């Protein structure tokens, strides 16, 4: 049976939601065929946490590993998508009812995936409560993905980031999971190999 591929990355474009006060995405021509150049070449300017991206521990922890050092054997492998019907946040109670046995890479599909049609940032997105984040750490999860720009809340997301990143969990933010259903997949997540960076945009594909 032929496997199906799902691109769960958000396309980079100037008109996309970005975290307030963070740089977004810009692209402009550097040289063009129309102006007589031998080839089209563009200049891109973007923040390290724009669109679908991976957080490195260095994002919140001084002297911690950068994105280019993240292990590929965590970024690629078996994963499971859970679809949660929650309105505000993912709580400990929401996770305790899930079958997490043997699940090392988990992506959480929420109502967030419908927010990508809006150009403006939406502050009331679904995020993790600190107790839920600590629960995933205790369960030995190695990779966590969420379908908006932060695993933590807009008002106070620092503790959630620290819980994940200090434990070595790879964090993927900005996924678009609208095209996939709950179930098992193989994930391929390849952030740009930017030496010393605190994070980087990534192309993320699920295969089933």
For position 2, what pLDDT does the model report?
A: 83
For position 29, what pLDDT does the model report?
A: 98
Residues of the chain short of pLDDT 70, as ranges, are 1
For position 172, what pLDDT does the model report?
A: 99
Buried (b) or exposed (e) across 124-149, using 16+ Cβ within 10 A? ebbbbbbebbbbbbeeebbbbbbbbb
Fold of 5-12+47-207: Glucose Oxidase; domain 1 (3.50.30)
Confidence (pTM): 0.97
Angle at 138 between CA 186 and CA 104, to 5 degrees: 10
Pairing of strands 25-31, 41-46: antiparallel
Candidates 75, 205, 104, 84; CA nearest to 146 is: 84
In angstroms, the Cα distances linking 29 to 45, 50, 99, 189 are 12, 20, 49, 28
* Residues noted as catalytic: 59
């Amino acid at each position: 049976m032929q496997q199906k591929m799902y691109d769960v990355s958000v396309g980079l474009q100037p008109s996309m939601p970005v975290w307030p006060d963070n740089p977004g995405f810009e692209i402009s021509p550097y040289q063009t065929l129309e102006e007589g150049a031998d080839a089209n070449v563009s200049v891109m300017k973007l923040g390290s946490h724009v669109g679908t991206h991976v957080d490195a521990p260095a994002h919140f922890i001084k002297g911690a590993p950068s994105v280019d050092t993240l292990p590929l054997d965590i970024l690629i492998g078996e994963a499971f998508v859970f679809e949660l019907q929650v309105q505000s946040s993912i709580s400990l109670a929401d996770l305790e009812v899930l079958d997490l046995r043997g699940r090392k890479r988990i992506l959480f599909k929420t109502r967030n995936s419908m927010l990508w049609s809006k150009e403006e940032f939406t502050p009331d997105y679904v995020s993790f409560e600190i107790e839920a984040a600590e629960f995933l750490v205790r369960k030995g999860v190695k990779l966590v993905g969420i379908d908006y720009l932060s695993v933590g809340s807009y008002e106070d997301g620092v503790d959630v980031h620290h819980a994940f990143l200090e434990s070595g969990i790879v964090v993927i933010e900005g996924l678009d999971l609208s095209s996939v259903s709950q179930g098992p997949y193989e994930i391929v997540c390849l952030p740009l190999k930017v030496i010393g960076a605190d994070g980087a945009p990534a192309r993320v594909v699920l295969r089933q």
